[in-house]
Amino acid sequence: MNWLQLANEVIAGKIISHDEALAILNSHDDDILKLMDGAFAIRKHYYGKKVKLNMIMNAKSGYCPEDCGYCSQSSKSTAPIEKYPFITKEEILAGAKRAFENKIGTYCIVASGRGPTRKDINIVSEAVEEIKAQYGLKVCACLGLLKEEQAQQLKKAGVDRYNHNLNTSARHHSFITTTHTYEDRVNTVEVVKKHGLSPCSGAIIGMKETKEDVVEIARALHQLDADSIPVNFLHAIDGTKLEGTQELNPRYCLKVLALFRYINPTKEIRISGGREVNLGSLQPFGMYAANSIFVGDYLTTEGQEVNSDFRMLEDLGFEIELTQKQEEVFC
64 is catalytic: yes
Q: Are 281 and 250 in contact (CB under 8 A)?
A: yes
Query: What residues are paired with 138 via a beta bridge?
Result: 106
Q: Are 102 and 157 in contact (CB under 8 A)?
A: no
Q: Are 283 and 275 in contact (CB under 8 A)?
A: yes
Choose the catalytic residue: 142, 251, 270, 275: 270
Burial class (CB in 10 A: 0-12, 13-18, 19+), 162: buried
331 is catalytic: no
d(CA 299, CA 331): 31
Choose the catalytic residue: 140, 253, 261, 275: 140
Choose the catalytic residue: 108, 142, 219, 253: 108
Positive or negative: CA dihedral 312, 205, 26, 225 = negative
Choose the catalytic residue: 43, 161, 185, 200: 200
Q: Cite the beta strand spans of 234-321 per DSSP E.
A: 268-271, 292-294, 319-320
108 is catalytic: yes
Q: Are 31 and 251 in contact (CB under 8 A)?
A: no
Angle, nearest 10°, between helix axes 18-26 and 250-263?
160
CA-closest candidate to residue 134, choices 310, 329, 331 = 329
Q: Are 231 and 272 in contact (CB under 8 A)?
A: yes
219 is catalytic: no
Choose the catalytic residue: 43, 71, 161, 219: 71
Choose the catalytic residue: 43, 64, 161, 219: 64
Choose the catalytic residue: 43, 68, 142, 219: 68
Element (H, E) at 277: helix 275-279
> Which of the residues are catalytic?
64, 68, 71, 108, 140, 200, 270
